[in-house]
Amino acid sequence: MIAPKKIAKLAVAALITIALLILLQSLLMPKYMTEILEGALISEYYREENKDHDVIFIGDCEVYENFSPVTLWQEYGITSFIRGSAQQLIWHSYYLLEETLKYEKPKVVVFNVLSMKYDRPQKEAYNRMALDGMPLSVTKLKSIKASMMDDEKFITYIFPILRYHSRWSELTAEDFKYLFKKDRVTHNGYLMRVDVKPLTTIPTERKLANYRFSDICYEYLDKMTELCKKNGIELVLIKAPTIYPHWYDEWDKQMEDYAEENNLLYINFLKYTDEIGIDYQTDTYDAGLHLNLSGAEKLSRYFGKIIQEEFNLPDRRNDEKLSRIWAAKADLYVQEMEKQYAELEELGYLKAFNSRRNDE
């Protein structure tokens, strides 16, 4: 066989090569620090030292753009975290929840039901943004299997370098700057935007051939309900107050029936926009698709009261350690707000969110 000395040399060589590949991989993977911030949302949760939240939000941009954990804390002392990602589909949400429960046991899980309408994976970019941030685990493997598009290969999620290798010619300073450490782009998962774009038109509602949600979506919703029941968690289904894509009455009815059958709380905020005080001329940054900071704070204030009473969530503002942590978070929150307002003043738009739109 081969001499032991040679084996040792081979082992050393292999280790160095692996280290080199890992370094290259983190260099070549997109950083999402200065543009397309949505790509950085998932990985932030793991860098959060204080993983002790009573409420966990899961879902797509209708959660991470419309709710503000800092407001929930300041108004009701509710600790919360939003585990959202761009166009997060229901299987992403389910496996994300399954993985979160390994880190902590929230009292309430809030799931936005818009993703019930997608019965198949939509785009590779969304899959990557939802999955690349997660550390390797059995749950992640299951999530990958459930969400891959036809032309995607499983191994490129285990070794992302096989997917991002062609980025070598598009590397920018950002890729080197954020090679090892990443900044925080959200506030406990809330991606703040202060700019305003008033609502002008609501597109007409198109007829559908079939209004019933697909079986695969119901299957995952059942699994989610089951998982929460098993862990003694209250599952709350919500539909954020956005005017597009259209939320059909037939869909609303199905969610009401489902909530009733499984005695869950289901709130369609579209029906309570007046009570919440949402004004689509000032509270949205893209003419009604998502709320901006003022909208999100209004919605959080309204929603916080309901869940605190409904599930008697404790007001933990008197907990000395927690209030110190959340005070620091509130400072960052205010700093970001002021920075964005200043930028808006100066440029008329927010660089981080509009750089790609301008060259479109």
Partner 1 sequence: MLFTSYNFILFLLSLFIIYYIIPKKYQWMLLLAASFFFYSFSGWDNVAYITVTIIATYFAALKIGQLHLQQESYLKENKGSLSKEEKKAYKEKVKSSQKKYLLICLFFDLGILAVLKYTNFVISNINSISRIFNAGEISFLDIALPMGISFYTFQSVGYLVDVYRGKYLPEKNIGKFALFVSFFPQLVQGPISRFDDLGHQLYSGHGFDFRNVSFGMQRIIWGFFKKLVIADRILPAVKTITQNPDTYQGIYVLVGMVFYAVQLYADFTGGIDITIGIAEVLGIKLKENFERPFFSKSTAEYWRRWHITMGTWFRDYVFYPVSVSNAMLKVSKFSREKLGEKTGKRVPVYLSTIIVWFATGIWHGASWNFIVWGLLNCLVIIVSQELEPFYAWFHNRFNVRGKFIFKLFQVGRTFLLMSAIRILDCYRNVPVTFRMYWSVFTKWNINELFNGALLKLGLDKADYFVLVFGIIIMIAVSLAQRSGSIREKLSARPEIVRYAAYVGLFISIIVFGAYGIGYDSNQFIYNQF
Partner 2 sequence: MKNKKIIIIIAIVAIVAAGVVVASLGRNSNKDGIDNANVSNNDNTGNNNETGANNRDVDITREKQGYYFEYKGIKIGVNDDAAPILEALGEPMYYFEAPSCAYEGMDRIYSYSGFEFTTFTEDDKEYIASIVFLDDTVTTREGITLNATLKDIEKAYGSKYEKSFNQYSYSDGNCVLSFIVENNAVVSVEYALPAYSGQEG
The stretch among 49-57, 160-168, 230-238, 326-334 that binds partner 1 (CB under 8 A) is 160-168
Q: Which residues pair with 310 in a beta bridge?
A: none
Strands (E), 198-295: 234-239, 265-268
Q: Cβ 29 to partner 1, closest distance in Å?
A: 13
Q: Which of 5, 120, 136, 169 binds partner 1 (CB under 8 A)?
A: 169
Between 20 and 332, name the residue whose CB sits nearer to partner 1: 20
What would the DSSP string read from start to end of 101-125?
Answer: HHH---SEEEEEGGGGG--S---HH
Query: 28: alpha, beta or left, given left = phi > 0 and alpha = psi -120 to 50?
Result: alpha
Q: What does the alpha-carbon distance between residue 61 and residue 53 come to, in Å, rounded to a whole number?
A: 20
| Distance, C-alpha 282 to centroid of its chain | 24
Q: Which does 9 bind (CB under 5 to 8 A by kind): partner 2, partner 1, none?
A: partner 1
CB of 12 to partner 1, least distance (A): 9
CB 58 within 8 A of CB 97: yes
**Residue matched to tokens 């793991």:** 46
Q: Which of 332, 331, 329 is nearest to 53 (CA)?
A: 329
The footprint of partner 1 on this chain (CB under 8 A) covers a number of residues equal to: 24
When CB distances are held under 5 to 8 angstroms depending on the partner's kind, the choice from partner 2, partner 1, none that residue 87 binds is partner 2
In the DSSP assignment, the letter for residue 207 is: P
Total residues belonging to the chain: 360
Residue ranges binding partner 2 (CB under 8 A)? 36, 38-39, 60-61, 86-87, 117, 123, 125-126, 129, 200-210, 244-246, 248, 286-287, 289, 356-357, 360
Tokens of 333: 């929150």
Residue 60 binds: one of partner 1, partner 2, none (C-beta under 5 to 8 A by kind): partner 2
Does 166 engage in binding with partner 1 (CB under 8 A)? yes
| Measured distance CA(190)–CA(52) in Å, rounded | 17
Q: Is 112 left (phi over 0), alpha (psi -120 to 50) or beta?
A: beta
Rounded to a whole number of angstroms, the minimum distance from the CB of residue 164 to partner 1 is 9
Binding mask 334-353 for partner 1 (x = CB under 8 A): --------------------
Which partner, partner 1, partner 2, none, binds residue 174 by CB below 5 to 8 Å per kind?
none
Which of 8, 155, 208, 347 lies at the binding interface for partner 1 (CB under 8 A)? 155
Closest to partner 1 by CB, 124 vs 343, is: 124
Sheet holding 55-59, edge to edge: 80-84, 55-59, 108-112, 234-239, 265-268
Half-sphere exposure of 180 (CA within 13 A, CB side): 0
DSSP-derived 3-state class of residue 210: coil
Rounded Cα distance, 217 and 213, in Å: 7
Instruction: Choose which of 123, 145, 165, 271 interacts with partner 1 (CB under 8 A).
Output: 165
Work out how close the CB of 355 gets to partner 1 at its nearest, in angstroms, rounded to a whole number.
21
The contact mask relative to partner 1 for 6-45 (x = CB under 8 A, - = no) is: x--x---x--xx--xx--x---x-----------------
| Token reading at 134 | 């997660």
Which 72-131 residues touch partner 1, going by CB under 8 A? Answer: 124
Nearer to partner 1, 105 or 165 (CB): 165
- Least distance from partner 1 to the Cβ atom of residue 242, Å: 31
Pick from 8, 19, 138, 162: which binds partner 1 (CB under 8 A)? Answer: 162
Query: Which of the choices partner 2, partner 1, none does residue 13 contact, using the CB cut-off of 5 to 8 A by kind?
Result: partner 1
CB of 217 within 8 A of CB of 237? no
Residue numbers of the site for partner 1 (CB under 8 A)?
A: 1-2, 6, 9, 13, 16-17, 20-21, 24, 28, 124, 151-153, 155-156, 161-163, 165-166, 168-169
